[in-house]
Structure 1
Amino acid sequence: MPSIKVFTRWRPPLPSEAAAPEIARTQASNPGQNTTIALTPPPSQKLSRPWKSDSAFTEIFNADDSNRTVFEHVVAPTLPRVLTGQNCNFFAYGHSGSGKSHTIIGYDFERPDEFGLCLSAAKALYEHLYQLNENTKENETLLLGLRMYELRKNIAFDLLNNRCKCHIREGADGKTHVRGETETLADGKVRVRPIVTKPCFTFEEFHAQLLAGIQSRATGTSTIHDQSSRTHAVFEVEIVTRELLDARDAVVERQSELVPVGKRATDIYIEENMKAIIQTPDGKYVPNPDYQLNQTAIDEAEAKKAEYESRVQKAEEYVSEVIKSCHHACLGGKMVFVDLAGSEYCHDKGSVSTMRTKQTPQEQQESRQINTDLLSLKEVIRAMARKQARIPFRSSPLTMVLREHFVTGGDDGVSAMILTTSPSSEQYNATIDTLKYGNLIGMAGVR
């Protein structure tokens, strides 16, 4: 099970919160142990109680800590793992307006100290790749592949492919696949492309692609502000080569060639078997004495199907060969950054949600789905930490998508969750909910 670390980040108070006092909070840690947080409710929150966490938090960042500081403490230590081909996952969790997108994406794309974790990680990786690429053949040049998509309910939208609508499905291999609409090509070929991977040879290219994808993100009304993201955004940064990307594209092409051949084999089998039986007056089905099953046609179609299935298998095997034959162990190493949708609790008494107009039925449904996703994520992490036989990945589209990243991370992989919290007393209940969520995950990780 990959280890899970939980960090807390307090954002500065907003100008609109200047009139409200800050939440009274203390933190403490013993040598060799994680940190505890204790909160005292403000006088205005008469129904709220004080709360103290377990020793669940790896580190706490204050309002004056920059994105660069968070990167150096949370992401930078995992770079050696990624450079040996492992997966590392980073989540930002908190209510809307608490600073999740600022942490993962950043809003100042010109000042390196304010780069979000995703952009800072790419910059650091390119510094290593430039060194590794010295005296490397052109088709083996290491670069970064970027995938960006957002999840809304059970649909994914490819942010680097004109917000192409993609579907989340579990394949016969037990893996989750996120793929776009079906394309019908010449000769009956049917192609279903996965989320687009944009190859970025330089940091400048990566920077430009990230900005383009961010412009495609959807926003909506939340309990905090009107430009809150109401989707989970996933940013996958993978070390790839042009040869690896071409090999993966070849798998998609071989699969598209298999579809019409497989369909024809199925059609012939059904057609022959339908001709070989008849219905009696009393409604029973019996062998047709006037028709001889054309087993030769069935066998020829199945043989053709097996031939094309073999082509798909060889293409998949070649992808594995490309990774194994690479002189650099980092090929396939991946960082996954997830900007989770805001955790809204619409009916908490005394919370900020009572200060805004009541949500529409559609917004309430959206919030329920978001909270279901976040609960499922917590349960998956806890189940993995406890080494349970059954991990509930199928509980939500979010955990289905993240399954590959958790599983391929291996026992040495690392996952980190950054809780973004508001210091405003007006956000006391929302902040408590965030810390309780992180406390459960943090304690599961230390068992």
Structure 2
Amino acid sequence: MAATKSMSVVARWRPLVDSEDSISEISRTTTQKAGDKDGNLLLHSVSIARQTDNTAATFTRNKPQTWTSSAAFRAVFQPDDDNQILYDKVVTPAVPHVLQGGRSSVFAYGHSGSGKTHTILGYDDKADGLYLLAAQQLFAAVTEWNSTNSTTTDTRLGLGFRLFEMRKKMAVDLLDGHKECHVREGADGRVHIRGETQMLEGGKVRVSPIVQQCCWSYLEFCEALTTALAGRSVGSSSVHRQSSRTHAILELEIVSAALVTAREAVVDRLSELVPVGKRATDISIEEQTKGIVLKPGGGWAPNPDYTVNQERIDAAEAEKNKFEARVADAEAHVDDLIASRVAPSLGGKMVFVDLAGAEYHQDSTTGPRQASVRQTPQERQEAQQINTDLLALKEVMRAWSSNQPRIPFRSSALTMVLREHFVASTDGHSTMIVTVSPSDEQYAATLNSLKYGSLVGMVKA
């Protein structure tokens, strides 16, 4: 049976905050319907309407304007549903899959101030974010495995995590001093995130990959995460005083010391290959250049006074092939370690994406146009890039879920980085959490968020 591909979408209403006590709430209802012919899957549609009088209601003989989504949401969480409830229903079902070496992805989408970061990372100093709850559960599983299996230092399991932001078209590594990393697609079709280039002894050139920090206890992980998150880019935008201005990607992977060492060997072999490959290219260009001359009337002709030293070219190519084979062997060793199933969970990944706040202005469907929020030029530029990324992500999700032959991963750096997780997540363990505000003042933003989630969730494989 072919693997299914689908993006589950859930909605989460946040509670009103203290400063919103005097503000009316959006009128909202949820209805259910069977999502398959056997009635085994329930899907939800959401209906919302404004309560205030300064909207389209005054232009439609006081009849409230209501918008209803398609039946696209797997669940709708209410303001009094805490993160633990959300985790139990959204993330916990994917944990057994990750512990068998699979992948799971969770996206948090919504406008600024709707509760995305609090959902992923938790509320204030409480360790109740989905990311921390997942790390806690995975550490419990690997600790049990370590205690019941005869492990060595090399085979003992732990968690490796990566934490980086997507800022414009660059990745910023929060585990490596905020170093900017380039996002590139390699000849193998895979997307690589590379840091600074370092010149080493012997002509070696090392291009460091994005850092993965390995932790062997939950306490060690929490300390490392706290330090890394202290450098996350937030800003006091016109929409929200503590708004995330970048997309944050948090990746958990079950690793062993042997796997970490094997991956380091790949980087070392690549650093050895770079100068050898460059030398082979330089020799080929040099010999080919000497072998031709410019004709008086233009164009090129073979140089009668020089014979291309093909033996020299072949020797350099042979040397390059030898080092390429060393890289291939190191990469194969990594694959063999994961495929060996010594620990079934080795290589299992869980990825959390805290998307930057989507910021939209009121449109004609929500009533008479209100005064738009004043934004600084920097905020406008940031908002344009954020919305470009989110549009690209929506199109990727729709193409991926509907099995289209071409998925537009190259539309943005964000979707290029997430390509690996989409390609590997072919069994439905991907969820988008659409966070929305019940504040009537944020009706337009809430409407746009629900529309986005509805478009993604209505596509079923």
CA distance in 1, matches of 2:274, 2:289: 22
Q: Which residue of 2 aligns with 1:294?
A: 309
**Could you tell which deviates more after superposition, 24-33 or 164-173?**
24-33
CA RMSD of aligned residues (A): 1.9
Secondary structure of 1:235's counterpart equals: strand
Higher mean displacement: 29-38 or 79-88: 29-38
Residues 1:130 and 2:143 are matched in the alignment? yes
Report the CA distance between 1:347 and its aligned residue.
5.7
Looking at structure 2, the residues matched to 185 and 394 of structure 1 have their Cα atoms a distance apart, in angstroms, of 33
- The two structures have a TM-score, normalised by structure 2, of 0.92
- Does 2:340 align with 1:332? no
Match of residue 156 from structure 1: 171
Structure 1 position 315, deviation (Å):
0.5
1:145 and 2:160 matched: yes
Partner of 2:45: 36
Give the share of equivalent positions with the same residue, in percent.
51
Note closer, same or farther for the CA distance 1:45–1:337 as it changes in structure 2 (3 Å cut).
Answer: farther
TM-fit CA distance, 1:107:
3.1
Alignment partner, residue 13 of structure 1: 16
Which residue pairs with 2:133 in the alignment? 120
Partner of 1:26: 29
Q: Where does residue 363 of structure 1 map in the other structure?
A: 379
- State the Cα distance separating 1:357 from its structure 2 match: 5.4
**1:85 corresponds to which residue?**
101
Amino acid at match of 2:384: R
- Of 438, 441, 449, which aligns to 1:426? 441
Q: What does the per-residue CA deviation read over 1:185-228, in whole Å, with 9 as the maximum and x for residues that have no partner?
A: 12221111111000010000111111111111111243422321
Residue in 1 aligned with 2:359? 344
**Structure 1 residue 57 corresponds to structure 2 residue 73:** yes
> Residue 234 of structure 2: which of 170, 194, 219 is its match?
219
Helix, strand or coil for the counterpart of 1:212? helix
Q: Distance in 1 between matches of 2:431 and 2:437?
A: 20
1:36 and 1:284 map into 2 onto residues whose CA distance is: 68
Query: Which of 88, 95, 120 is the equivalent residue of 1:104?
Result: 120
1:386-424 CA-partner distances (Å, limit 9, x unpaired): 1111111111111111110011123x2411011111110
Give the alignment's TM-score, normalised by structure 1. Answer: 0.95
Q: Match of 2:61?
A: none
Deviates more, 1:323-332 or 1:428-437: 323-332
Corresponding position of 2:404: 388
Residue 70 of structure 1: CA displacement? 0.8
Distance (Å, rounded) in 1 between the aligned partners of 2:254 and 2:198: 28
Decide whether aligned partners of structure 1 residues 96 and 308 sit closer, same or farther in structure 2, where only a CA change above 3 A counts. Answer: same
- SS of the counterpart of 2:458? helix
Cα offsets for 1:51-81 (capped at 9, x unmatched): 0112111111111111111111110111111
Tell me how far apart the structure 1 counterparts of residues 398 and 296 of structure 2 sit (CA, whole Å): 61
1:261 alignment partner, one of 253, 259, 276? 276
- Give the conservation status (yes or no) of the 8 Å contact 1:96–1:223: no
C-alpha distance in 1 between matches for 2:80 and 2:217: 31
Deviation, 1:343, is 0.7
> What secondary structure, in the 3-state scheme, does the structure 2 residue paired with 1:292 have?
coil
SS for the counterpart of 1:7 is: strand
Alignment of 1:75 onto 2:88: no
The separation in 1 between residues aligned to 2:210 and 2:453, in whole angstroms, is 30
Between the aligned partners of 1:413 and 1:259, the Cα distance in structure 2 is 39
Are 1:195 and 2:198 an aligned pair? no
Supply the distance in 2 between the matched residues of 1:175 and 1:97 (Cα, whole angstroms).
35
Residues 228-279 of structure 1: CA distance to partner in whole angstroms, max 9, x if unpaired? Answer: 1110000000011111111111111111110100111111111111111122
Kindly state the Cα deviation for residue 167 of structure 1 after the two structures are TM-superposed.
0.7
1:373 & 1:51 partners in 2: Cα distance?
26
Q: Distance in 2 between matches of 1:427 and 1:333?
A: 39
- Number of aligned pairs? 442
Paired amino acid for 1:209: A
Detail structure 1 runs of 4+ shifted over 4 Å in the superposition: 347-351, 353-357
Which segments of 5 or more consecutive residues in structure 1 lack a partner in the other structure? none
Read off the aligned partner of 2:313 and give its amino acid letter: I
